[in-house]
Amino acid sequence: MACSVTFLLVRRLLDLLRLGPSPDQKDVEIAVLAHELTVLRRQVARPRYSPAEPGRTLAGATSASWASAASLA
């Protein structure tokens, strides 16, 4: 908590001395980051599952847990 208080005090001091980023720069940075996020979301392909997929996933998880349990015994 001391670090966060120190950070806030330093941040306010820099704002008073006009050494920190201006609100315009902050707004531009937020807009650029939001745009980058939307572009990245478009690039990532969503996985397409078949109707049998949940059964295969469950079967794989069950057999893996049985295998690990058998190795412990």
Reading the block at residue 28, the tokens are 């531009």
Residue 51 resides in a domain: no
What would the pLDDT profile of 8-63 be if each residue is shown by its tens digit? 888 888 888 878 767 788 888 899 999 999 988 888 777 777 666 666 666 666 55
Q: Residue 19 is part of which domain span?
A: 14-44
User: What single-letter amino acid sits at 3?
Assistant: C
Counting the structural domains of the chain, the total is 1
Residue 8 resides in a domain: no
- Assign 21 to helix, strand or coil: coil
Residue 20 resides in a domain: yes
pLDDT of residue 35: 93
Residue 55 resides in a domain: no
Residue 9 resides in a domain: no
Residue 72 resides in a domain: no
Reference 38, options 28, 48, 30, 49; nearest CA is: 30
Residue 53 resides in a domain: no
Residue 34 resides in a domain: yes
